[in-house]
C-alpha cells in the first residue's frame, strides 16, 4: 500500500503581500453578496463528537458543503462572486451595490449587455460558473479534462452552458479556455487558478470561498468552541487552501490554527514545492490519474502559493486509498454521530486525519502537529456525491478507481 507523504514547511518567508486578498472586510463583502441569493442558507457544521473520542481528539468538526445552493459543492461561492465583481467593475459600481436581485434584473442586463464566461473544470467549479451564468442571463463555455465522467458533464449542460470533454489534462484545458476567451468578443475567463498576468479574477474567487470559512468560524463560536487548533484543507491548484489559510491567518493573527494542506499524491504540486524548500513553484504534469478529480491539478495558483508558503505548517500528499477511507468513515461514523456524504475530494483531509491519528507509521507527523486530546480540528467536506455512481462504487463497492 502506498503511504502518505508529508513535508513540513521550511520555505523562506516572503513579504506576505497576498494575505490582504483575504482581509476580513473583503470576506465580509463576499458573504453579504452570497446572502442576497434566494438559494442561500448556511451549510451545516457537523460535530463528530464520538469520532473525536475514537481518534483521540478533543473536537472534530466537518463543514458539509453538499448543501450549497443545491449544487452539492462549494465551488459556486467563488465563481458567482468573481462574476459579480467583474460585472460591477464594468458598470462602474461596487459589488455591494449589486445584490442578486439587481444582478439578475433586466435593467442591469441592458446596462452590461451579454458576456461569455469561459472556464475549465473537472466538474464542480464549471457547474458553479454555469449555474451563476444561467441565473444572470449570461453565456458560458466549459472545457473539461479527459477522464471526466458523463454525470459531471451532464450537470453542466443542464445549466444551459456549452460544455465538452477534451482529450487533455486539466491544466491544458485551462490554457485552451483562456485562448478561446481571448478570441471571443466580450469573452471572460473565470478560473480558480492564477498565473502571472491573470490574478484579479482568481483573487475574487478566493474571496468568494471565504464565505465558507467565515460561516464555519461563526458556527464554531455559536457552539461555544474556541478557535480551531488545527485546520485540514484540501488543495488542487491551492485556491481554496489559500483562501481558508488566508482567512484564519487574518482572523487570528496572534494565535492562528495550524493548517495542514492535503493533496492527491498524483497531483501534489504544493507538496513538491514544500519538499524542495526553496519556495519556487513546482509543477506536476501528465495524466494525474486519481479518484480525487477535483484535486487533479498540477500547476499552483500564484496568489495562493504566496499565502501558503508563509503560513501553512505541513503539506501532505495522500494516495487514493486515503480519500476512500475518509469517504467511508464519514458515511458511517461512530454511532451517535451524524453521517456526512463526502465525495472523493471532499473526504481526503478527513481520511488523512484518521490515518495520522490511528496508524503507527504516522506517529512522527502526529507528534509534530501536536494532535492530541486537546486538539480541536476543523475540516471542510467540499463536495457531496457529485458523481453518485462513483461514490457508491467506492463507499459500497470498495473500489478506489
Active site residues: 75, 122
Count of CB atoms situated within 10 Å of the CB of 355: 22
- Residue 304 host element (H or E): helix 302-311
Neighbours of 338 (CB within 10 A): 13
Name beta bridge partners: 74.
Answer: none
Residue owning grid cell 470533454: 165
Any bridge partners for residue 141, and if so which? 118, 162
Residue 7 bridge partners (DSSP): 315
C-alpha cell of 146?
479527459
Q: First-to-last CA distance in the chain?
A: 15
Spell out where 75-186 has E strands. Answer: 116-120, 139-144, 162-165
Say if CB 228 and CB 377 are below 8 A apart. yes
Alpha carbon 144 to its chain centroid, in Å, reads 17
Nearest to 371 by CA among 252, 223, 228: 228
How many Å apart are CA 267 and CA 143, to the nearest integer? 19
Q: Are 33 and 101 in contact (CB under 8 A)?
A: no
Q: Within 13 Å of residue 79, how many CA atoms lie on the same side as its CB?
A: 31
- Between the CA atoms of 18, 19, 21 and 22, what dihedral angle is there, to the nearest 10 degrees? 160
Q: What is the dihedral of CA 129, 134, 138, 143, to 10 degrees?
A: 40
Closest CA to 350 of 224, 178, 232: 232
Q: With beta carbons less than 8 A apart as the criterion, state whether 356 and 300 touch.
A: no
Amino acid at each position: 500500500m502506498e503511504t502518505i507523504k508529508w513535508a513540513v514547511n521550511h520555505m523562506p518567508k516572503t513579504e506576505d503581500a497576498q494575505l490582504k486578498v483575504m482581509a476580513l472586510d473583503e470576506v465580509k463583502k463576499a458573504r453579504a453578496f452570497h446572502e442576497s441569493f434566494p438559494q442561500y442558507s448556511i451549510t451545516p457544521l457537523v460535530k463528530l463528537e464520538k469520532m473525536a473520542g475514537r481518534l483521540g481528539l478533543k473536537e472534530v468538526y466537518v463543514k458539509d458543503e453538499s448543501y450549497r445552493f443545491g449544487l452539492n459543492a462549494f465551488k459556486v461561492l467563488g465563481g458567482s462572486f468573481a462574476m459579480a465583481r467583474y460585472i460591477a467593475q464594468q458598470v462602474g459600481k461596487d459589488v455591494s451595490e449589486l445584490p442578486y436581485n439587481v444582478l439578475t434584473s433586466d435593467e442591469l442586463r441592458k446596462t452590461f449587455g451579454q458576456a461569455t464566461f469561459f472556464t475549465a473544470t473537472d466538474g464542480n467549479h464549471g457547474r458553479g460558473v454555469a449555474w451563476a451564468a444561467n441565473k444572470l442571463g449570461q453565456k458560458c463555455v466549459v472545457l473539461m479534462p479527459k477522464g471526466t465522467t458523463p454525470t459531471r458533464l451532464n450537470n453542466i449542460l443542464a445549466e444551459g452552458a456549452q460544455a465538452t470533454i477534451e482529450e487533455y489534462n486539466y491544466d491544458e484545458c485551462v490554457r485552451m479556455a483562456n485562448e478561446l476567451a481571448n478570441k471571443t468578443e466580450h469573452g471572460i475567463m473565470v478560473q480558480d487558478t492564477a498565473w502571472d498576468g491573470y490574478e484579479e479574477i482568481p483573487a475574487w474567487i478566493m474571496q468568494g470561498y471565504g464565505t465558507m470559512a467565515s460561516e464555519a468560524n461563526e458556527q464554531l463560536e455559536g457552539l461555544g468552541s474556541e478557535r480551531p487548533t488545527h485546520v485540514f484543507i484540501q488543495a488542487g491548484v491551492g485556491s481554496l487552501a489559500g483562501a481558508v489559510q488566508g482567512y484564519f491567518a487574518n482572523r487570528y493573527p496572534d494565535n492562528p490554527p495550524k493548517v495542514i494542506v492535503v493533496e492527491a499524491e498524483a497531483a501534489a504540486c504544493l507538496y513538491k514545492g514544500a519538499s524542495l524548500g526553496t519556495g519556487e513553484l513546482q509543477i506536476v504534469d501528465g495524466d494525474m490519474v486519481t479518484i480525487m478529480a477535483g484535486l487533479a491539478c498540477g500547476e499552483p495558483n500564484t496568489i495562493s502559493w504566496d499565502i501558503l508558503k508563509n503560513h501553512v505548517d505541513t503539506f501532505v500528499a495522500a494516495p487514493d486509498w486515503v480519500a476512500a477511507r475518509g469517504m467511508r468513515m464519514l458515511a458511517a461514523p461512530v454511532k451517535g454521530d451524524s453521517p456526512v456524504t463526502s465525495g472523493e475530494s471532499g473526504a481526503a483531509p478527513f481520511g488523512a486525519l484518521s490515518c495520522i491519528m490511528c496508524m503507527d507509521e504516522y506517529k512522527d507527523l502526529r507528534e509534530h502537529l501536536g494532535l492530541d486530546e486537546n486538539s480541536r480540528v476543523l475540516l471542510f467536506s467540499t463536495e457531496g456525491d457529485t458523481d453518485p455512481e462513483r461514490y457508491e462504487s467506492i463507499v459500497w463497492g470498495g473500489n478506489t478507481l
